[in-house]
């Protein structure tokens, strides 16, 4: 890499200009679109279709390319589950084991991870457990595996989800070794909602007053196609950010709502972009759930910081605004996200009870381990690493025992949203101090900021086998910031 390239990377990462303690909140390098963009709040908010089972407990979804209208007046080729972006929303129930057959009709191999799922290892979307399309050179009848432990499933694979887990907002996305970032950018992501009786019994807003909001950023070429750098471009080592914010696949959309409580399931599905969400002209989010399920009790926030992979389940009471007003979901860091227009009064029998759930208790940690997320190597040969190691499949960094809890200390040199597969965790401390109010509940992804130390208590329940810990900035992930751990 040239010196200019290296400096460019630093500038993109915000590392060059910032002094000590003055790190910017952004975590990527901006790609700008090359076509005229629509005015914000002109495109209606789409709601992704619900996936329909082909038999009780069985779904089939096909990954295909499609041309869709994202920027009005142009078409964009997407890679989509069932040719949609976001993919269909799966409504799943605790205690109803489900099998999803994923067929790959795309030009490249894929691996599908149900993020937040307590999945058996063979169905967890391991990065080298690939579904290979017909005719691809990596096809089992035509090519040779290039990674140890690589599995090539021709054309389709059945993913089995026991769903022995609490109601939560999960999501699914591509997880292919080295190519997760470009493949998710093309559209391979969607939501999966787990419901259970504990949640059913609550008087929370439901039906059309429950809105899943998958938030991500993209950039577009002149012809409407997605703009993305070539894979592993060192200029974009900090991560790729786009200049268009999409909610459920629509640019800065608008939704009409009645003056009642609404439940918003917020997901940051961006590759690298972090948000600090707020309501304008003011207002509060009542958080009811975190990544891995309902909180014990609601928590009110004016600002929700949300890093890639995280979910916040919140209730907003639109009766606090006069009919006719516009309530904008904004990002303190970059501006508009979407708008709600309060169009009418309506009866509202929903409520946010003071007690929401009985989440599992914390247990004592039987071990403490440290994971350092850092850029290593020099300019020409840099990688994002964990404990100094770039990802090597099949070389686990930890072997926690099934049924135990461990304290994992996460440290970093930059913004690294750290995600654990299988294990849900609670944030114990941030920078040696108690966690932030927005760290509440059981989580699977935590925002670790530059030079921060975050301690989490993780429970290893459900399955033995090979899982992973990685940075959910997808460019960092593809540039090796991943490690295996084995539950033994
Ligand atoms: Cu959402 Cu291993 O990722
Ligand atoms: Cu990272």
In a 10 Å sphere around its CB, with 0-12 CB exposed, 13-18 middle and 19+ buried, how is residue 395 labelled? exposed
Rounded Cα distance between 241 and 426, Å, is: 29
Q: Are residues 12 and 124 in the same domain?
A: yes
Lining residues, ligand 1, CB within 6 Å:
113, 115, 173, 175, 309, 419, 421, 468, 470, 472
In a domain? residue 26:
no
CA nearest to 409, candidates 425, 393, 389: 425
Q: How far is the CA of 190 from the centre of ligand 2 (A)?
A: 22
Using the predicted structure, report yes or no on whether residue 276 has a pLDDT greater than 90. yes
Using the predicted structure, report yes or no on whether residue 406 has a pLDDT greater than 50. yes
* Cis peptide bond upstream of 480, omega within 30: no
Q: Are residues 227 and 339 in the same domain?
A: yes
Using the predicted structure, report yes or no on whether residue 19 has a pLDDT greater than 80. no
Q: Are residues 185 and 211 in the same domain?
A: no
In a domain? residue 25:
no
Which ligand is closest to the CA of 180, given by its number?
1
User: Which pLDDT score is estimated for 319?
Assistant: 98
Which ligand is closest to the CA of 375, given by its number?
2
Q: How far is the CA of 391 from the centre of ligand 2 (A)?
A: 13
Q: How far is the CA of 463 from the centre of ligand 1 (A)?
A: 17
According to DSSP, residue 55 is labeled B
User: Which pLDDT score is estimated for 23?
Assistant: 56
Residue 254 pLDDT class (50, 70, 90 cuts): very high
In a domain? residue 355:
no
Tokens 């190691």, located at residue:
389
User: Which pLDDT score is estimated for 185?
Assistant: 98
Query: Which ligand 1 atom is nearest residue 470's CA?
Result: 2
Q: Are residues 335 and 428 in the same domain?
A: no
Choosing from 200, 217, 249, the residue where a domain stops is: 200
Task: Render pLDDT for 122-161 as a digit per residue (tens, 0 to 9).
Answer: 999 999 999 999 999 876 654 455 676 789 999 999 999 9
Task: Render pLDDT for 381-405 as a digit per residue (tens, 0 to 9).
Answer: 889 999 999 999 999 999 999 999 9
H-helix or E-strand spanning residue 258: strand 254-258
Query: Which ligand 1 atom is nearest residue 116's CA?
Result: 1
Q: Could you please report the per-residue DSSP string of 86-137?
A: SPPBEEEETT--EEEEEEE-SSS-B-EEEET----GGGS--TTEEEE-TT-T
In a domain? residue 238:
yes
User: Which pLDDT score is estimated for 25?
Assistant: 73
Q: Are residues 126 and 224 in the same domain?
A: no
Contact by Cβ (8 Å): 82, 62? yes
H-helix or E-strand spanning residue 183: helix 180-185
Q: How far is the CA of 334 from the centre of ligand 1 (A)?
A: 25
Neighbour tally for 432: CB within 10 Å: 8
User: Which pLDDT score is estimated for 21?
Assistant: 43
Average pLDDT, the chain: 93
Using the predicted structure, report yes or no on whether residue 174 has a pLDDT greater than 80. yes
Query: Which ligand 1 atom is nearest residue 173's CA?
Result: 1
Q: Could you please report the per-residue DSSP string of 286-317?
A: EEEEETTEEEEEEEEES-EEE-TT-EEEEEEE
Contact by Cβ (8 Å): 421, 483? no
Choosing from 181, 200, 219, the residue where a domain stops is: 200
In a domain? residue 127:
yes
Query: Which ligand 1 atom is nearest residue 309's CA?
Result: 1
Q: How far is the CA of 111 from the centre of ligand 2 (A)?
A: 20
Q: How far is the CA of 21 from the centre of ligand 2 (A)?
A: 18
Residue 222 pLDDT class (50, 70, 90 cuts): very high
User: Which pLDDT score is estimated for 138?
Assistant: 76
Which ligand is closest to the CA of 476, given by its number?
2
User: Which pLDDT score is estimated for 148?
Assistant: 66
CA nearest to 6, candidates 174, 205, 234, 161: 234
Q: How many angstroms separate the Cα of 281 from the Cα of each of 6, 189, 352? A: 41, 31, 23
Using the predicted structure, report yes or no on whether residue 18 has a pLDDT greater than 60. no
Going by CA atoms, what residue is nearest to atom 3 of ligand 1? 115
Q: Are residues 10 and 114 in the same domain?
A: yes
Enumerate residues 6+ apart whose C-beta is below 8 A from 169: 116, 191, 193, 212, 265, 267, 289, 291, 311, 313
Rounded Cα distance between 214 and 191, Å, is: 8
Tokens 């600090």, located at residue:
276
Q: Are residues 190 and 242 in the same domain?
A: no
In a domain? residue 149:
yes
Contact by Cβ (8 Å): 388, 377? no
As a whole number, mean pLDDT of residues 245-265 equals 98
Contact by Cβ (8 Å): 214, 308? no
As a whole number, mean pLDDT of residues 278-290 equals 98
Task: Render pLDDT for 313-325 as a digit per residue (tens, 0 to 9).
Answer: 999 999 999 999 9
Using the predicted structure, report yes or no on whether residue 13 has a pLDDT greater than 80. no
Q: How far is the CA of 414 from the centre of ligand 2 (A)?
A: 7
* Least confidently predicted of 113-122, 229-238, 350-359: 229-238
Give the count of domains, the chain: 3
Rounded Cα distance between 477 and 81, Å, is: 22
As a whole number, mean pLDDT of residues 273-289 equals 98
Choosing from 165, 200, 235, the residue where a domain stops is: 200
Q: Are residues 229 and 276 in the same domain?
A: yes
Q: What pTM, to 2 d.p., does this model score?
A: 0.94
User: Which pLDDT score is estimated for 53?
Assistant: 98
Q: Are residues 340 and 408 in the same domain?
A: no
Strand, coil or helix: 6: helix
Strands (DSSP E) found in 109-243: 112-115, 129-132, 151-154, 156-161, 168-174, 189-195, 210-220, 226-227, 240-242
Instruction: Find the domain containing 329 and state its range.
Output: 207-344
As a whole number, mean pLDDT of residues 172-187 equals 98
Provide the CATH number for the domain around residue 313.
2.60.40.420
Going by CA atoms, what residue is nearest to atom 1 of ligand 1? 115
User: Which pLDDT score is estimated for 378?
Assistant: 79
Q: Are residues 191 and 216 in the same domain?
A: no
Contact by Cβ (8 Å): 369, 408? yes
């Amino acid at each position: 890499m040239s010196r200019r390239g290296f400096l460019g990377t630093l500038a993109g990462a915000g590392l060059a200009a910032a002094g000590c303690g003055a790190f910017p909140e952004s975590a990527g390098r901006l790609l700008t679109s090359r076509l005229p963009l629509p005015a914000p709040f002109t495109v209606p908010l789409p709601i992704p279709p619900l996936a329909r089972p082909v038999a009780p407990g069985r779904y089939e979804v096909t990954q295909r390319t499609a041309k869709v209208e994202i920027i009005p007046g142009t078409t964009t080729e997407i890679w989509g589950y069932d040719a949609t972006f976001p993919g269909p929303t799966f409504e799943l129930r605790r205690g109803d084991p489900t099998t999803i057959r994923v067929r790959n009709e795309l030009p490249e191999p894929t691996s599908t991870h149900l993020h937040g799922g307590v999945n058996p290892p063979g169905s967890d979307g391991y990065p080298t457990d690939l579904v290979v399309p017909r005719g691809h050179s990596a096809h089992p009848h035509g090519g040779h595996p290039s990674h140890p432990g690589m599995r090539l499933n021709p054309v389709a694979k059945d993913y089995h989800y026991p769903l022995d887990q609490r109601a939560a907002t999960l999501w699914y996305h591509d997880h292919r070794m080295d190519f997760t970032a470009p493949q998710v950018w093309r559209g391979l992501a969607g939501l999966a909602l787990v419901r259970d009786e504990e949640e059913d019994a609550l008087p929370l807003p439901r039906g059309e007053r429950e809105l899943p909001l998958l938030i991500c950023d993209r950039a577009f070429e002149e012809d409407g196609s997605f703009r993305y750098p070539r894979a592993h471009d060192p200029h974009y080592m900090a991560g790729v950010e786009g200049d268009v914010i999409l909610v459920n696949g629509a640019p800065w959309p608008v939704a009409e709502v009645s003056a009642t409580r609404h439940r918003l399931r917020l997901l940051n599905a961006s590759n690298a972009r972090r948000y600090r969400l707020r309501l304008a002209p003011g207002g509060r989010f009542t958080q009811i759930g975190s990544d891995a399920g309902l909180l014990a009790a609601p928590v009110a926030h004016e600002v929700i910081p949300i890093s890639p992979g995280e979910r916040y389940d919140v209730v907003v009471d639109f009766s606090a605004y006069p009919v006719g007003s516009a309530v904008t979901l904004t990002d303190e860091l970059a501006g508009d996200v979407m708008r709600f227009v309060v169009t009418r009064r309506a009866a509202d029998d929903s409520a946010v009870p003071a007690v929401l759930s009985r989440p599992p208790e914390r247990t004592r940690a039987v071990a403490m381990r440290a994971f350092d997320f850092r850029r290593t190597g020099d300019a020409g040969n840099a990688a994002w690493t964990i404990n100094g190691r770039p990802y090597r499949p099949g070389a686990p960094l930890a072997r926690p025992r099934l049924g135990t809890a461990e304290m994992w200390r996460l440290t970093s040199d930059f913004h690294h949203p750290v995600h654990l597969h299988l294990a849900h965790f609670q944030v114990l401390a941030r920078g040696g101090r108690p966690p932030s109010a927005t760290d509440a509940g059981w989580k699977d992804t935590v925002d670790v900021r530059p030079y921060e130390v975050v301690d989490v208590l993780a429970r290893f329940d459900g399955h033995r086998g090979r899982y992973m810990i990685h940075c959910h900035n997808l460019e960092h992930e593809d540039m090796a910031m991943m490690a295996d751990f084995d539950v033994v």
